[in-house]
Structure 1
Amino acid sequence: MPEPLSPLGLLLDVDGPIASPVTRTIATPSIITDLITLAGANVPIAFVTGRSVAFIREQVVVPLRAAGLPETMRMYGVCEKGAVWFPITADGIGEVVVDDSVALPPAAVDALRRLVADRFADTMFFDETKQAMVSVEQRTDADHAVYQEAAAEFNEAAFSVLTGLGLGVRFGNRVAVDADGAVPFRIDPTIISTDIESVTLDKDRGAERALAFFAESGPLPSVWRSLGDSRSDYLMADHLHAAGYDVSHVDVRPAYGILDRPYPIIVEGDLIHDEAGAQFLGFWVDKLGLR
């Protein structure tokens, strides 16, 4: 007997709406139970994130499995903003696919790793779990204000390192082209990290990848919600809106500026980050009569 059509689909950024940006874990227990409940109701759920497979496995999938993921569900992971993807089942993460065509050259990866080790190891670490992009992240024992000062210096140094290797790089309003006149990479700072990545990677690419996966297993719901804490997370809803779905975006860090969009933007009162994410998920569990 076919599964009933779900009334809802979810595209979720991880840092912020699901995992605490402070602890970098799912610190609100109701998020775990509500995700499991929604998954059991045939709600397609995709984690669309800049994080690595290793992070999603340890900080998201392991606690979900421990609490009891349903045997039948539609859950997916798109990591590194679309460079890496995999299904998620009750047994854990399935086959992982990496798009090597968007990866930074090994020489650039090595140079950035040395840059962190030589000058910035007291405030940040080089994320060795990334498979296509390069990420450096604030150490949990570093003061955030001190990290932000160091990150600004690192970003400038990284731009110099990459352009010195002849790579085409965009950083803010600055653009340096490669020998072919192209700019294949960008430096993208976030609240606790800096990502250095292909310009082809972003949250709309992740959303497209997730929808294609879900379409293979049955009809897609007409109603979708995306959640995120960065302005780039709106790109998930942009893709859904352009594809004709009924979409709203939940901004869990509206103080950074709510973008003007042709679809509704939801904020959860004064709640932010994972507290806002928990409120939103709980609302839908109640709305669908699943509690």
Structure 2
Amino acid sequence: MHGVCEKGAVWFSIGPQFGPTGIGGLSVDESLAMPADFATEIETLVASRFADDVFFDRTKRAMVSVEQLTSIDTDAYLALQPVFDALAMEALQRRGFGVRRLDDVRPDASGEVQWRIDPTIISTDIESILLGKDLGARRALTLLSADGELPLAWRTVGDSRSDYAMADWLHAAGYTVEHVDVRPADGVPSKAYPIRVSATGAIHDEAGAEFLAGWLGEVA
């Protein structure tokens, strides 16, 4: 098994050859990593102004992510998120970087913008504009190709519009692909490949489990 994280910036392999934990060493594309001093400033900002509402995700290696605490509700989080995002943008601009706030569309990497602020329903991710779920898909196929012949048909699963980029990339590369949207409330776009949503109305983990169980039944 292989893990591709942070929209393609981090990847690793899993298997018995790696000892008791089963996890091999992490690979990080340092050219896509946020500046360390910026990450430190954001962690300090969270501790001083937002500690009752969000936490700084120290597991991230390339991105900077600030995530909602489960102790506050969605409405409260979404009300304060723009305040935090504006402060993060100011911190980047102070360093002379080009930055955009972006929800689900990747800017042209050839422009002046270097970093993007990507708010989600539970977090704000601050990252290189070169990161994306399409890059993650490409990394995944690179890892899998070292294991043997690649499948011709794929299923991608996601809970946001940006996750469609995985299927977009696979389709453009000539593979048969279907995308499973486990949170279609954002709207299901028109694509050149099939899109599945739960027939029962399930969302999130429950929808993912429903599809996995169905596929298991098919192969069994």
TM normalised by structure 2 equals: 0.91
Paired residues, number: 208
Q: 1:273 aligns with which of 199, 204, 208?
A: 204
Find out whether 1:148 has 2:107 as its counterpart.
no
Match of 1:133 in 2: 63
Amino acid in structure 2 at the alignment position of 1:280: F
Q: Which runs of 5+ in 1 are unaligned?
A: 1-74, 174-180
Match of 2:12 in 1: 86
Q: 1:254 aligns with which of 184, 190, 193?
A: 184
Q: 5 Å matches for 1:104-143?
A: 104-143=34-73
Amino acid in structure 2 at the alignment position of 1:285: L
Q: 1:159 aligns with which of 83, 89, 102?
A: 89
Task: Identify if the C-alpha distance between structure 1 residues 172 and 236 changes in structure 2 by more than 3 Å, giving closer, same or farther.
Answer: closer
After superposition, the C-alpha distances for 1:174-211 in whole angstroms (9 at most, x for unaligned) are: xxxxxxx7211000011110000000111000000000
Q: 5 Å matches for 1:205-220?
A: 205-220=135-150
Match of 2:218 in 1: 287
State the Cα RMSD in Å. Answer: 1.3
How far apart, CA to CA, are the structure 2 residues paired with 1:278 and 1:128?
28
Aligned residues of 2:54 and 2:68 also touching (Cα < 8 A): yes
After superposition, the C-alpha distances for 1:28-56 in whole angstroms (9 at most, x for unaligned) are: xxxxxxxxxxxxxxxxxxxxxxxxxxxxx
SS of equivalent residue, structure 2 residue 14: strand
Find out whether 1:96 has 2:22 as its counterpart.
no
Aligned residues of 2:179 and 2:195 also touching (Cα < 8 A): yes
Runs of at least 4 residues off by over 6 Å: none
Q: 5 Å matches for 1:172-183?
A: 172=102, 182-183=112-113
Q: Which runs of 5+ in 2 are unaligned?
A: 104-110
Match of 1:226 in 2: 156
Amino acid in structure 2 at the alignment position of 1:168: G
